[in-house]
Chains A and B, each alone.
Chain A
């Protein structure tokens, strides 16, 4: 069935390090892809999205490119900050449906 697989955490990085969180999906058709972020004690916030192949979503220094050939949507940031510490979820919504299927989440801790 349709699913999202993202790298297991937790991930601990020093401030200003480069971040990559891998995400791959299994879905039919052309899903829309999302990254959501959950800060401690809060709900989910949309970080970025891409709705078709080769689209690049970007926000707050984070980027992800919709790669249909590798069914991937990896999240990257060139220089992380302590304030980026949170749980990051990769998700998709399939063509013709709107509910989100989420990965298990990756907890990121950035240390000064």
Chain B
């Protein structure tokens, strides 16, 4: 158990709908990352938040957005869903202090199926 929790575990929805994925980082971790894992694209970084502020953006679609709340949990919002958005969405967290690199701890993922 990494200490990172994600809900829900599975989500099935229709095209055009909107969903929200939730992530709670490990206790004490200030950074949250979102990744998408799909068969054709592999594992791709979407977005990072650090202590409530957006830190970095990767290959995140405009239809997707995220935020990190004062209690440090994060939500990933996916809207106008398409069949191609079906994937496993992972959240990860890490501690960041200065310029040191700390490993990321991954949650179990949310499997999204768009029908």
- Which A residues have a C-beta under 8 Å from some C-beta of B? 32, 34, 36, 42-46, 49, 51, 89, 93, 96-105
Q: Which residues of B contact A99 (CB under 8 A)?
A: 33, 45, 48, 56, 58
B83 at the interface (CB under 8 A from A): no
A45, B43: Cβ atoms under 8 Å?
Answer: no
Number of interface residues of B (CB under 8 A): 26
Complex Cα–Cα for A2 and B44 (A): 13
- Of all A-B residue pairs in the complex, the 10 with the closest CB atoms, nearest first, are A102-B43, A44-B106, A99-B45, A43-B106, A43-B108, A32-B101, A104-B42, A46-B103, A43-B109, A99-B56
Most chain A CB within a 10 A radius of its CB, from B90, B94, B104, B107: B104
Most chain B CB within a 10 A radius of its CB, from A46, A89, A96, A105: A46
Complex Cα–Cα for A102 and B33 (A): 14
Main secondary structure of the interface of B (DSSP, over half): strand
A98, B106: Cβ atoms under 8 Å?
Answer: no
Complex Cα–Cα for A105 and B43 (A): 9
Q: Which residues of B contact A43 (CB under 8 A)?
A: 2, 4, 90, 106-109
Q: Which residues of A contact B44 (CB under 8 A)?
A: 102
Complex Cα–Cα for A96 and B101 (A): 9
B24 at the interface (CB under 8 A from A): no
Complex Cα–Cα for A44 and B55 (A): 22
